[in-house]
Amino acid sequence: MNIQENITRIKKVMGLIKEYEEQLAKKEGISQSHLDRLLEKFKTRFPDKLRSKVDVIGQFVVNYIKDHNFTVKFLNGCSTGFAGVRTRDQIIICSASSMGTLGDFLYTIFHEIRHEEQIRDLKMKNPFTDYDLESFKELSEQYWDMELDADQFAKEIVAKLIIELKIPMDVAKENFRLSNYIERYPSMSRMVISQLDQIIKSIIQIKKSGGEFTDIQDHPMVKPFIDKLENFI
């Protein structure tokens, strides 16, 4: 993965912040999206004079999704065991209203967006559908490489937002703080691969029993929620 291309792309996108501010000024009178309502929770934690920055961040997220033609859905209050997942038909953000900080929320969005870019735009192999499931070593290496790339991409987006919007350090530490799990994610390969092993074994079992599996959204941990998805923006 070319990290420099990643950074260049993020810088280009961040250069549009001023344009997003102008768009935001024209947004008065438009009904709130679910994203807007979720951001309201985080906005109350910001000092009054900085709350408008959260609106700019929201417009940045909306434009990034629209400019790249992503379909993003969300679930509130679901018990799936994951914060986000990329499926064949959409990116799902799960239990967004229960995330601890704006940083965790943004990280989750852009981590899953990166997975869609990896498969749709970069043509990387999908570990769940493009590999022999019995060849777990090869499959898991691809999965972990994609996870590390998505982790770095999402963290860079959060960092760039802080820098470009000139968020004071004390406010950034409080509101963009990442959970310990996210901070330590690159060092947690053993645990993540163990979880992946269980998922792959369950997929193998689904297929052996005659069940249909064409994408992760057919898995029992995702499938029950598909009909409950709501629009994000």
Token representation of residue 42: 């985080």
- Reported pTM: 0.88
Burial of 184 (0-12, 13-18, 19+ CB in 10 A): exposed
pLDDT of 159 higher than 70: yes
Task: Give 12-49 pLDDT, tens digit per residue.
Answer: 666 656 565 565 555 555 668 989 999 999 999 999 99
Structural contact between residues 58 and 30, judged by C-beta atoms closer than 8 angstroms: no
Closest CA to 90 of 204, 203, 185, 227: 227
Least confident range of 78-87, 105-114, 145-154, 166-175: 78-87
Q: Give the domain ranges of the chain.
A: 3-231
Query: According to the model, what pLDDT value does residue 81 have?
Result: 72
Structural contact between residues 102 and 155, judged by C-beta atoms closer than 8 angstroms: no
CA distance 74 to 84: 9
Reported for 123-127, long-range contacts at CB under 8 A and 24+ positions apart, including other chains, are 127/196
Task: Give 50-100 pLDDT, tens digit per residue.
Answer: 999 999 999 999 999 999 999 999 887 667 778 899 999 999 998 777 788
